[in-house]
Structure 1
Amino acid sequence: MPPFVAVIARLRQLRILLLLLGLGLAQTVTAMEVLRILAWPGYADPDVVVEFERRHNIRVEVSYIDSDDGLWNRIHNNSGKNFDVFAVNTAELQRYIDQGLTVPINLDHVKNHARQLPRFQDYKAIPGLVRNGQIYAVPYTYSDMGLIYNRKKVKKIPQSISEMWDPDYRGRVLAYNASNHNFSIAGLAMGVKNPFALNPGEFKMAVSQLIKLRRNVLTFYTTPEEVVKLYLEHDIVLIFGNYGMQQVQALRAAGADVGYVIPREGALSWLDCWVITPGAKNKTLAESWIDFMLEKTVSDTLTKRHGLANTITPFQDNSKDKIIWLEPLENYAKREALWSRIISGDDFEKF
């Protein structure tokens, strides 16, 4: 065989070999299992995800949400089939269980729950986690939602949630864009007995209050990062801290001189948990993710980077403050529909 013919033959062999290798790699990538996570910002940082992928030789797809309404729509609209695991607070959790959008969790696959602080180990003592003797959620992180204030520009340290409506602060207040919390906040400002169970008369009053709030704020934000940007670009005095200390830490890291306070009416407080959808392709893998999230190094990352309390390591003691744990709401759809009209600019006379 002439030399050039031999070279051509060898090149053909090499091409065939590379093609076979490429097909093998493609099959490996295609066959790699995928875990689909729906979470809040900070709950699944890239390096944390990479470590889980390495341990289990899988791929993780993380999607983010920025409101309870958005979370509900993404899970409910697809019957939970588009994700395997998501994070939700205990009050919101109830409607997911009611609609069959979550499945019980086998704690035998979540060994690290034994590392959780005593107040979080007894799942039966935490309202909403257990239904008919089965565990539907594992606590992960929690926070109160107090008031963040600009130390240099407030007239005095805020004492009441009603100061968000202060006309002297018009255009200098940031509030959170969510139907559930805003009606409850209005309820607190109004002094109702139960801000999670508004009666028809209280609903009407709350609509009026929220229209006034809409006129007093600069805007309604969704993420902690958005708050930092708005604070640096505008003359902000007061912020409703939906993400609590996570926002305080982010603002201070950006150079903001801010304080944080629990108003005298109390602070709405959430406990977020990991849950599994009925559409989970590998339930055991989903439970492994939850177990991984409860490792001390992972939980500590949540606190050190994002200022969020975790259920493994003791955090700040708010026992002297009035903490109001979120409860299921009287009518989620009604709050969402009314809030959409309020934020779009409808006047009270149209309600």
Structure 2
Amino acid sequence: MKRFFLRSVFGLLCVSASSTAWAAEVLRVLAWPGYADSDWVSEFEKRFDARVEVTFIDTDEALWDKLSKNRGENFDVFAANTAEMQRYIDQAIAAPVKPVRIPNTKKQLPRFRRVEKIPSINRDGYLYAIPFVYSEMGLIYDKKQIKQAPVSMNELWNKKYIGKVVLHDGSNHNFSFTALTIGIKDPFNLNKQEMARSVNRLLELRDQKPFFYNSPEEGTQAFIKNKAALMFANYGMQQLKLLRAAGADVGYIVPKEGALAWLDCWAISIKAKNKMLAENWINFMLDKSVSNELTQRQGLANTLSKSNLSARDKIIWIQSSEDFALRSQYWDRIRAGNARNGNNRPKKPIL
């Protein structure tokens, strides 16, 4: 998230090597690392006598860049979170899908079978994506430096942690979680005044001299190398799993103001060359053995098994933002450290 995984490789095109290299049917998959591991790809290729080409991306922006060109004609099936799906529906990039053609949807938990209750993936009576995995975005802290578990994401702004904060390098979620910390009720639809407040608050966070990451692996490296105290866990429990595996003594909380949570889905490109093969891919990924193995490998919750979230944890499913482009423009300036003007107010956006 969205939004993802124990990633050793990202942003690269990986073509699986198998005995099906010259198969007539090719499936082109666009996904987050961890969603198309080589052993699963090999098994799918054998089962369906096809060749799978996987392109990995590491940000929502990169996903949009790949799919917005020629309305996704270079891919057959892709993974995107529910908040992002609205863009792909708006631009006629995603094609309607029918759960009846994906039998394993019947094995999903009730909340994910009731797809009509997930507005972001529905439009005019048509369904455009199938839920796959999800995670909340909590706060990770170093137990050696912070003896008592923090309770709020506001701890990221604590001046005693200057140079010890790790942040995800993404515009959308950073604006949303920041809006929550200053009491904005709807973090996904900021008016002008709320946007200004959020920009200034993010500028204050930039003053903490944070380290940035895109992938979970980068986050782990930044946290350990820089002896960080706090991390905004854009990939949630997955990052906790990675850090502990690397020997870090870390804790994890869902902050009192609530944690943003993303739900990643599989969608089919409107220009898919083989829609049936794309449906088979989604059904394959929803096989219980694959979904449960993904949870074991990545620490992410799947849509077939119950998660470990407490009933007391406040989870806020992410939605489409009021202006993705504006958030991106502001974040680029904040990230570069040049978003202030003489009056300490955000500059007028370039629209």
TM-score between the two structures when normalised by the length of structure 1: 0.89
Structure 1 residue corresponding to 2:121, chosen from 117, 129, 135: 129
Query: Is contact 2:330–2:339 with CA below 8 Å preserved after alignment?
Result: no
**4+ runs deviating over 6 angstroms:** none
1:241-256 matched pairs, under 5 angstroms: 241-256=233-248
Query: Which runs of no fewer than 5 residues in structure 1 stay unpaired?
Result: 1-27
The separation in 1 between residues aligned to 2:307 and 2:177, in whole angstroms, is: 25
Q: Match of 1:257?
A: 249
Work out whether 1:215 is the aligned partner of 2:207: yes
SS at match of 1:153: coil
Match of 1:182 in 2: 174
Q: Does the alignment pair 1:281 with 2:306?
A: no
> Superposed, which structure 2 residues align to 1:22-101 within 5 Å?
29-30=21-22, 32-101=24-93
Q: Is the 8 A contact 1:175 1:217 kept in 2?
A: no
Alignment deviations for residues 180-218 of structure 1 (CA, whole Å, 9 cap, x no partner): 001112211111121111110111111111122122143
Distance in 1 of aligned mates of 2:84 and 2:46: 32
Distance 1:36 1:212 in 2: 42
Q: Is the 8 A contact 2:23 2:50 kept in 1?
A: no
Quote how far apart the aligned CAs of 1:30 are.
4.9
1:1-351 → structure 2 map (5 Å cutoff): 29-30=21-22, 32-154=24-146, 156-349=148-341, 351=347
- Distance in 1 separating the partners of 2:46 and 2:214: 32
Per mean C-alpha deviation after superposition, the further-off stretch among 204-213 and 143-152 is 204-213
State the Cα distance separating 1:91 from its structure 2 match: 1.2
Distance 1:340 1:77, change over 3 A: farther
Offset from partner CA, 1:271-296 (integer Å, 9 cap, x none): 11000111211011001000001100
Cα RMSD over matched residues?
A: 1.4
The one-letter amino acid paired with 2:131 is P
Q: How far apart are the structure 2 equivalents of 1:189 and 1:106? A: 39
Structure 1 window deviating more from structure 2 (312-321 vs 261-270): it is 312-321
Give the letter for the 2:311 counterpart: S
8 Å contact kept, 2:142–2:228: yes
For the residue of structure 1 that corresponds to 2:40, the secondary structure is helix
Stretch moving more, 210-219 or 232-241: 210-219
- Secondary structure of the residue that 1:51 maps to in structure 2? helix
Q: Is the 8 A contact 2:133 2:300 kept in 1?
A: yes
Q: Deviations over 1:70-100 (max 9, x none)?
A: 2111111331111111111111111110110
TM-aligned CA distance change 1:347 to 1:247, over 3 Å? same
Q: Percent identity?
A: 51
2:24 and 2:209 mapped to 1: Cα distance?
Answer: 48
The residue that corresponds to 1:19 in the other structure is none
What residue number does 2:5 align with? Answer: none
Please list every run of 5 or more consecutive structure 2 residues that lacks an aligned counterpart in the other structure: 1-19
Is this contact kept in 2: 1:174–1:217, CA < 8 A? no
User: What's the CA shift string for 1:223-277, capped at 9, x where partnerless?
Assistant: 1111121222111100101100011111111111111101111000011100011
- Once the two structures are TM-superposed, the CA of residue 146 in structure 1 deviates from its matched residue by 0.4
CA distance in 1, matches of 2:178, 2:314: 17
Contact preservation (8 Å) 1:151, 1:258: yes
Q: Measure, in 1, the Cα distance between the counterparts of 2:166 and 2:25.
A: 42
SS in 1 for 2:80: strand
| Structure with the larger helix share | 1
For the 8 Å contact 2:212–2:219, the answer to whether it is kept is: no
- In the TM superposition, residue 130 of structure 1 has moved relative to its aligned partner by 1.9
Task: Decide whether aligned partners of structure 1 residues 108 and 285 sit closer, same or farther in structure 2, where only a CA change above 3 A counts.
Answer: same
Q: Give the aligned residue type for 1:63.
A: T
The answer to whether the 8 A contact 1:105-1:136 is kept is yes
Which amino acid in 2 is paired with 1:154? I
Question: 1:322: Cα distance to partner?
Answer: 0.7
> Helix, strand or coil for the counterpart of 1:348?
coil
